[in-house]
Structures are given as C-alpha cells and as structure tokens.
Amino acid sequence: DTAVSQTPKYLVTQMGNDKSIKCEQNLGHDTMYWYKQDSKKFLKIMFSYNNKELIINETVPNRFSPKSPDKAHLNLHINSLELGDSAVYFCASSHGSRNEQFFGPGTRLTVL
C-alpha cells in the first residue's frame, strides 16, 4: 500500500524517559512534517523538513528533535518526556512545492 506509516501506534512511558516515533512514506515525497494533536483535537505543526531546510515551530521545546536518515523517513525523538507531551503525533508528507499533505495514522503518546 502506498501510504504514510508510523510506529508505534500507541506509546506509554514514564516521565523523564527518552522515546522515538518512526515515520515512513513510500509516496516518493520529498517533504515531511510532524504535527501534534492535543486533547482538544487541535492540530499544530511542529516541524517541516525537506532536503534543503528544517523549519521548526518556535513553540516546540528543544527536547523534540526530528531526524531524517533518508528522504522516505522522518523520525521524532523526544528527550526527558513530560506529562504535557501526552498527545497524538501525526507524520505527514508532500511532494515538492505542491501543498497536498498526506497524513499517517498517528501515534498516541501517554506520559505517566
């Protein structure tokens, strides 16, 4: 299936831990994104990345860092997890200058 996939789907962890969420797209897109959806369903951009630039939303703590081993992957690393990091995280991708973004199924992160 051509799609944006994320692993894991659910992630439960303790405060202070470090965790990663993986994202892969097989759509041939060259731009990938991470969004955070809070408990009120509000979707907010965290990072945008292509091979030319990384755009970081200024409100994102530096405990969050995207890492892209290749054009098909953009993983999200989170250090020193806090209770407020609990949310659903969505990866998305798009092609070049076209804006249509396709979203993954999401990863529900719960920090205890």
Partner 1 sequence: GENVEQHPSTLSVQEGDSAVIKCTYSDSASNYFPWYKQELGKGPQLIIDIRSNVGEKKDQRIAVTLNKTAKHFSLHITETQPEDSAVYFCAASNSGGGADGLTFGKGTHLIIQP
Contacts of partner 1 in 80-109 (CB under 8 A)? 90, 97-106
Answer left, alpha or beta for residue 16, where phi above 0 means left and psi between -120 and 50 means alpha.
left
Strand 73-78 and strand 19-25: the pairing is antiparallel
Cβ at position 62, least distance to partner 1 in Å: 18
Could you tell me which of 40, 55, 51 has the C-alpha nearest to residue 73? 51
* 1 touches partner 1 (CB under 8 A): no
Answer left, alpha or beta for residue 80, where phi above 0 means left and psi between -120 and 50 means alpha.
left
Write out the two tokens for 58.
């200024």
Q: How far does Cα 35 stand from its chain's mean position?
A: 6
Contacts of partner 1 in 17-76 (CB under 8 A)? 31, 33, 35, 40-45, 47-50, 52-55, 57
Kindly tell me which of 14 and 98 has the beta carbon lying closer to partner 1: 98
Kindly tell me which of 79 and 106 has the beta carbon lying closer to partner 1: 106
Interaction site with partner 1 (CB under 8 A): 4, 31, 33, 35, 40-45, 47-50, 52-55, 57, 90, 97-106
